[in-house]
Amino acid sequence: MKKVAIIGAGMMGTAMAWPLSDNGYEVRLIGTHLDNDIISSCKDNHFHPRLSRQLPDNVIPFYNNEISKALNGIDFIVSGVNSLGVHWIGKTLSPFIKPGDRIITVTKGIEANKHGNFVILPDVLKNELPETMRDQINIAAIGGPCIAGELAGRRQSCVVFAAENNDIVDYFKQALQTRYYHIWTTSDIVGLEISAALKNAYAMGVGLADGILEKSGGVDQSGSFMFNLAAALFAQGCNEICKFLKIMGVTETFPQNLPIAGDLFVTCQKGRSYRLGFLLGKGIPFNQAAEIMQGETLESALVVNQMQKILSSMVRKGVISNQDFPLMRFLIDLIHFQKPVHLEFDNFFNEECKI
């Protein structure tokens, strides 16, 4: 039997067990040090508490300290940690990694390095590996609209895989595609990582509309919501993701619809990022909103804080002006500087961006 390891037993990492298992893999699900409760439940009842699902039969749970055994004889690794765990997984894998090893990552996020330059998470992971190994492993990434619980429920999902090397991305497509998990591919891993990260921030931006609605008294006596505002924020989010991709040199072959509009759409279906936006839209300062949502990883806020550094650096270098990315700047004001909500539309859509 073919074997594979998923590291990180959160919802998205674990959800990958379904297509893998359906494709005949023995799936070794390795918890991080933060996943002991989850792994304990998986070992006891073969039940994943956060996904609320029985695991497929051929999933074997492992505690973090069993990683050495779990990585033995596997075909590839799925990195299922969140953005805070990327450095950790790089360090953790270092003693085990061999030339030619393959990793596919579901992690969404971006990092600013000490110069304020944008770094994609697969590179952050690579940079934690021994220097001689960095160019000898093959990393692929996953983007596009995919809620973990739905994938685990074998609901129809359309996603994009990216790797610089076509053979690698085709290998992973072969390993993971099923009748419900549909995969398109691209060599543009930078484009895919940017889209996957930024959509969390902009979904929070769309969520603001619901909060602003509630603050202003809710649905009015004639039944009107604030969907027009939400849609404008959605469109401006698409525009800014597109613009950032373009500045970062995304190629024309990048399949943008699933990773930008599609992923932003699914992330606006009342997930964490959207709910954070709702709280901020109501006028709750970020630190209080974060307390209300405590226990949840606020990827959207992490992305906004990184973008504060990245946009500042881009302005210093003359790559963009202070007026560019007005919605992201507004989110930075809310999250990073904790200013009150005051939307200005004047700078929206002033520069329409196309790839």
Residue choice 201, 258, 280, 302 for contact with a copy of itself (CB under 8 A): 258
Q: Is 256 near a copy of itself (CB under 8 A)? A: yes
Rounded least distance, CB 64 to a copy of itself, Å: 25
Binders of a copy of itself: how many residues, by CB under 8 A?
58
Among residues 4, 60, 151, 284, the one that binds a copy of itself under rule CB under 8 A: 151
Q: Rule CB under 8 A: is residue 52 a binding residue for a copy of itself?
A: yes
Question: Please, what is the minimum distance in Å from the beta carbon of residue 264 to a copy of itself?
Answer: 8
Least distance CB 171 / a copy of itself (angstroms): 20
Piece in contact with a copy of itself (CB under 8 A), picked from 2-10, 76-84, 151-159, 189-197: 151-159
Q: Provide the minimum distance between the beta carbon of 229 and a copy of itself in the complex, in angstroms, as a whole number.
A: 4
Query: 115: burial class by Cβ within 10 Å (0-12, 13-18, 19+)?
Result: exposed
Nearer Cβ to a copy of itself (70/327): 327
Min CB(50)–a copy of itself separation in Å: 10
Query: Which of 66, 75, 128, 150: binder of a copy of itself (CB under 8 A)?
Result: 150
Q: Residue 162 or residue 258: which is nearer to a copy of itself going by CB?
A: 258
User: What residues numbered 193-252 form the site for a copy of itself, per CB under 8 A?
Assistant: 220-232, 234-236, 238-239, 242, 252
Residue 261 interacting with a copy of itself (CB under 8 A): yes
Backbone angles phi, psi at 100, to 5 degrees: 90, -5
User: Considering the rule CB under 8 A, would residue 339 count as an interface residue with a copy of itself?
Assistant: no
Length of the chain: 355
Binding residues for a copy of itself (CB under 8 A): 51-53, 144-147, 149-153, 155-158, 182, 184, 220-232, 234-236, 238-239, 242, 252-258, 261-263, 265-266, 268-269, 343, 345, 348-349, 352, 354-355
